[in-house]
Structure 1
Amino acid sequence: MKVAPLPTVLLLSVALVIPWTSVQAQKRDEITGKVLYRYTDEKGIQVLDDQVPPRFVAKGYEILSLSGQVLKVVPPPPTGEELAEQRRRAAQREQDHRLLKRFNSVADIESARARKLATVEQDMAIMRSNISSLGRQIEQEESVAARTQRAGREVAPELLQRIADLREEVAVLNERLGRREAEAVAINEEYDRAAARYAEIAGK
């Protein structure tokens, strides 16, 4: 006895009902909160259970519906080194974003370097000029003091104080000059890094 084939429309209806039923089951599992957990035990065997023992949580696990659909994958928590690497990459992305927002090209970076250095170098030139001028004043005052001593007279306290004050001014200026020189070096290093990083990003 031959069985008549099912009509095409009926076959399509059956095919549609099966996945629809699966979706409905999954939604029902999610709504009712009934789920299963799949994790790997100490022997490397995958286990399906209604909970994950605390000692296996750090290895990561999967949350499945009762119908076997993977609802969520919970990866292992990152290690200290991985966290540090994530923070480093996030900081680098932020720096790159600011760099691209601030400059349009390597030439733009070099122009900014030149402008910033020009201000610092102008300050250093003024300080060097002042140091030189104060040095000449000190020589003059010390020459007067030396002539006074050679004449057998006592050098006036006011003259000695002026010499001490001038030397103090020179010391202060030299300290400021040193800081400015260090600043110029830091500016060059900063813009060297910026130019190199910009070229690296633009080349990707």
Structure 2
Amino acid sequence: MARGLLLLALCWIELSTVHAQSIYYRYPGPDGTVVIDDSVPPDAVPRGYDIIRLDGSVVKTIAPQLSEAERKARALELGIEEARAAADAKTRKWDESLLLRYSNIHDIEVAKKRALNDIKVRISILKSNLSIIKQQVYSNQAEAAELERRGLAVPTELTNTLASLRRELTTTEQHIGARQEELEQVANNYERDKSRFADLQGQVDVRRNYYSKPQK
């Protein structure tokens, strides 16, 4: 008799455990009420639902589906957040680089002067080459014109040389223009570095002054 009661009790406990582990679905009804059922109607799925046990513990939550406008708004929000995070990371990297390379504003001025002088030297060399090329073009043009005045054909070699010199002339002028743009850009970059370094120094000074004051 006792053994039978024990078996009955064990069966009851097992059934209760299985029943407690049964899965149900909790979802908002069309009128805003909360519905608990053993399945979710297809029309309720977009509103989201919870998968729960009999004791009310949540197994999993399925979020409501977003509308097209909500998806676009969310995508835009995520894009803005990513862009902001990328900008912050770039600024941190810039700040670290400035603090590693320079001790003060004077260091930046010295580096700026050195960098600009290097570019100016390259521009000077290019302009010197340009002057030489122009003289060669004028000389070859004069030779070709003299031959034509005398009724003679201009040699193919001379024509090809003139074409090559003109291409070289154009390329050199483009290089000079690029170096002049670089000169302006580098100068602007160093001025930007100076401004940012001054901001960082100001932040350091503020913190130093704050912590140097006696704490009440």
Q: Counterpart amino acid of 2:156? A: P
Matches within 5 A, 1:16-165: 54=61, 80=78, 81=80, 84-165=83-164
- Give how far 1:94 is off: 2.7
Please provide the CA RMSD for this pair: 2.5
Residue in 2 that maps onto 1:168: 167
- Give how far 1:182 is off: 2.1
- The 1:106–1:144 alpha-carbon spacing in structure 2 relative to 1, beyond 3 Å, is same
- The 1:196–1:140 alpha-carbon spacing in structure 2 relative to 1, beyond 3 Å, is same
| In 2: Cα distance, 1:109 partner to 1:50 partner | 63
- Give how far 1:126 is off: 0.5
- Give how far 1:93 is off: 2.5
1:203 partner SS: helix
| In 2: Cα distance, 1:149 partner to 1:83 partner | 68
Unaligned runs of 5+ in 2: 1-55, 64-76, 204-216
- Give how far 1:113 is off: 0.9
- The 1:132–1:84 alpha-carbon spacing in structure 2 relative to 1, beyond 3 Å, is closer
- Give how far 1:55 is off: 7.9
| In 2: Cα distance, 1:82 partner to 1:135 partner | 55
- Give how far 1:185 is off: 1.9
2:180 partner SS: helix
Q: Counterpart amino acid of 1:173? A: T
- Give how far 1:192 is off: 1.2
Residue in 1 that maps onto 2:189: 190
Residue in 2 that maps onto 1:64: none
| Structure having the larger proportion of residues in helix | 2
| In 1: Cα distance, 2:147 partner to 2:84 partner | 72
- Give how far 1:148 is off: 1.1
| In 2: Cα distance, 1:201 partner to 1:52 partner | 50
TM-score, normalised with respect to structure 2: 0.55
* Cα shift readout 1:56-109 (whole Å, capped 9, x = no counterpart): 9xxxxxxxxxxxxxxxxxxxxxx6355654443343223212211111111111
* Cα shift readout 1:118-163 (whole Å, capped 9, x = no counterpart): 1111111001011111101111111111111111111111211111
Q: Identity percentage over the alignment?
A: 29
TM-score, normalised with respect to structure 1: 0.58
- The 1:105–1:145 alpha-carbon spacing in structure 2 relative to 1, beyond 3 Å, is same
1:104 partner SS: coil
Q: Answer yes or no: is 1:181 the counterpart of 2:180.
A: yes
| In 2: Cα distance, 1:191 partner to 1:90 partner | 20
- The 1:175–1:82 alpha-carbon spacing in structure 2 relative to 1, beyond 3 Å, is closer
